[in-house]
Amino acid sequence: MKLTAWGQYPVIDTKVILPNAVLAQKLVLESSVIPFGNGRSYGDSALAPNIVPMLSNDRFLNFAEESGLLTCESGVLLADIIEIFVPRGWFLKVTPGTKLITVGGAIASDVHGKNHHVEGCFSACVQEFTLMLADGAIVRCSREENQELFHATCGGMGLTGIILEVSFSLKRIKSKHIDQTTIKTGNLEETFAAFEAYKNFPYSVAWIDCLAKKADIGRCLLMVGDFANDGNLNYKAKKNVSIPFEFPGFALNNLSVRAFNWLYYGKVRKRVTQSQVDIDSFFYPLDALDHWYRIYGKGGFTQYQFILPKEKSLIGLKEILEQISSSGKGSFLAVLKLYGPANENYISFPMEGYSLALDFKIDPGLFALLDKLDEIVAYYGGRIYLTKDVRVSKTIFEQGYPLLDKFREVRSRYGLNKRFHSLQSQRLGI
Ligand SMILES: Cc1cc2nc3c(=O)[nH]c(=O)nc-3n(C[C@H](O)[C@H](O)[C@H](O)COP(=O)(O)OP(=O)(O)OC[C@H]3O[C@@H](n4cnc5c(N)ncnc54)[C@H](O)[C@@H]3O)c2cc1C
């Protein structure tokens, strides 16, 4: 069958191996496989000639009401957890900008949300999981048991085996609403100052106008917030609107992005605005549009996400935003986030600093621009996020991940490097 991930690029032929009782046997027979969650990674990390689809591995197994510890299979979607647990006063401790991902995918990418500076990555709330290794054996992994497999698997992009069952903590909430403050800034210095001034809020994220020029470079709308206290837990997921067909190639260009950015930034008049929003609008605005990748046309798109160490973030981001602005390749989505310290996982993405994520339609000249941006990221000691990537070079990747050799060594010691491969891992020689 044909398979692609969220960026719709590349599209490959793949064979599906079902995750049932014969899986262990099959694993021994198949030369190489990669687990596939809900395909919300953007590039080629879940793509391979043989995939193991995990969505049907989706049973809830236990919930400890006193501690908030949930045990479920790895194919459960975050959306299902929210639907069931928000009305009971529980929410995810860490959630990315989409709820349409599996728990296995959340661990394999060690995803982060708007609260990394407070709560860290998804792995921070994981107590333990079971993992199927290359020979079909199933082991329990935690910070106490099989620690190396635990730290390799969190952020390990499916390259250390198949995550089967997971126990992780939820957090108590008193409302389905979030009290949000929006701060409008005029340039990058003001944006950084605002992040610092509001860093006591558990959630923060900024939308940057990436086509702004000169003195306006880095101007943004910074949204910060926390759960309200009103006791209203009457949550129902919002109905989605669908983009019905792929837009023609000319629909999305420098002009349309510039017009969108101008309107979006301009619609906020005051420097500081207060509002109350619901969970779906605050955490998952993009989920409201089904198939929104269709606006990028048939050729697909990619998300470029990098992080820079805090002390280099201002200078590095300025250079990168200048390059993007002068290239004329705009992005509707340009999201800046603040991160707390890195964790112990070998190839997790976050480090203490700032990260920017930008969506770009795939077109001639894009990869040359991204290669240039890679050089700036590497120069300032940053790294690229694997779960979004489809084209970074081996050299740039290796420079960004100092514990990569440890990751490779664990993979080799357990024979995982003979069984688990994605297009991405082969491209990058992981
Ligand atoms: C709109 C949108 C917003 C996003 N926002 C964020 C964000 O804010 N922060 C963030 O960190 N990420 C974000 N992401 C990325 C997304 O959270 C990750 O790519 C996530 O891993 C996707 O999970 P999935 O279940 O779809 O897995 P897939 O995309 O299918 O796979 C992703 C990786 O997980 C591995 N994997 C999947 N299941 C298993 C398993 N059971 N065992 C072992 N490995 C497995 C795959 O092999 C692959 O390497 C966003 C994506 C979208 C589309």
pLDDT for residue 159: 98
Is residue 347 within a helix (H) or strand (E), and if so which, with residue range? none
Is residue 286 within 6 Å of ligand 1 at its C-beta?
A: yes
Q: Cβ of 379: how many Cβ atoms within 10 Å?
A: 13
Tell whether the model's pLDDT for residue 250 goes beyond 60. no
DSSP state string for 236-272: -PPPPEE--SPPPGGGSSHHHHHHHHHHHHHT--SSE
Mean pLDDT check: name the lowest of 110-119, 240-249, 329-338, 378-387. Answer: 240-249
Specify if 412 maps to a domain.
no
SS3 call for 398? helix
Same domain membership, residue 380 and residue 339: yes
pLDDT for residue 247: 59
Find the domain containing 114 and state its range. 57-173
Specify if 164 maps to a domain.
yes
- Domain final residue, candidates 173, 193, 220: 173
pLDDT for residue 255: 60
Task: Supply the CATH number for residue 296's domain.
Answer: 3.30.70.2520
Same domain membership, residue 350 and residue 243: yes
Task: Supply the CATH number for residue 115's domain.
Answer: 3.30.465.10
Is residue 111 within 6 Å of ligand 1 at its C-beta?
A: yes
Same domain membership, residue 373 and residue 226: yes
pLDDT for residue 153: 98
Specify if 111 maps to a domain.
yes
SS3 call for 226? strand
Same domain membership, residue 203 and residue 147: no
Q: Cβ of 273: how many Cβ atoms within 10 Å?
A: 14
Same domain membership, residue 257 and residue 108: no
pLDDT for residue 298: 83
Same domain membership, residue 303 and residue 181: yes
Specify if 37 maps to a domain.
no
- Of residues 17 and 79, more confidence is placed in 79
Q: How far is 91 from 332, CA to CA, in rounded Å?
A: 29
What type of residue is 396?
A: I
pTM recorded for the entire structure? 0.95
pLDDT for residue 290: 78
Specify if 34 maps to a domain.
no
Q: How far is 136 from 25, CA to CA, in rounded Å?
A: 7
Same domain membership, residue 329 and residue 304: yes
Contact 93, 78 (CB under 8 A): no
Buried b (16+ CB within 10 A) or exposed e, 28-60: eeeebbbbbbbbbbbbbbbbbbbbbbbbebeee
Is residue 362 within 6 Å of ligand 1 at its C-beta?
A: no
Ligand 1 atom at minimal distance to the Cα of residue 113: 8
Same domain membership, residue 275 and residue 185: yes
Is residue 160 within 6 Å of ligand 1 at its C-beta?
A: no
Specify if 46 maps to a domain.
no
- Domain final residue, candidates 111, 140, 173: 173
Q: 10 preceded by cis ω (within 30°)?
A: yes
Same domain membership, residue 361 and residue 253: yes
User: Which one, of 200, 325, 182, lies nearest residue 267 by Cα?
Assistant: 182
Tell whether the model's pLDDT for residue 25 goes beyond 70. no
Taking only the tens place, the pLDDT of each residue in 319-360 is 999 999 888 887 777 899 999 999 999 999 999 999 999 999
What type of residue is 188?
A: L
- Domain final residue, candidates 131, 156, 173: 173
For the chain, how many structural domains are there in total? 2
Specify if 320 maps to a domain.
yes
pLDDT for residue 34: 95
Same domain membership, residue 247 and residue 313: yes
Is residue 337 within 6 Å of ligand 1 at its C-beta?
A: no
Same domain membership, residue 276 and residue 166: no
Could you give the percent of the chain with pLDDT greater than 90? 78
CA of 223 to the centre of ligand 1 (A): 24
- Of residues 302 and 250, more confidence is placed in 302
Task: Output the residue whose Cα is nearest ligand 1's atom 49.
Answer: 157
Is residue 45 within 6 Å of ligand 1 at its C-beta?
A: yes
Taking only the tens place, the pLDDT of each residue in 146-200 is 999 999 999 999 999 999 999 999 999 999 999 999 999 999 999 999 999 999 9
Is residue 98 within 6 Å of ligand 1 at its C-beta?
A: yes
User: Which one, of 112, 124, 129, lies nearest residue 54 by Cα?
Assistant: 129
Same domain membership, residue 291 and residue 142: no
CA of 189 to the centre of ligand 1 (A): 32
pLDDT for residue 248: 59
Q: For residues 62-78, give the mean pLDDT.
A: 97
Specify if 23 maps to a domain.
no
DSSP state string for 93-162: SS--S-S-SBHHHHHHTT---TTHHHH--GGGGEEEEEEE-TTS-EEEEESSSSHHHHHHHTTSTTTT-E
What type of residue is 275?
A: S
Placement of tokens 């514990």 in the chain: 403
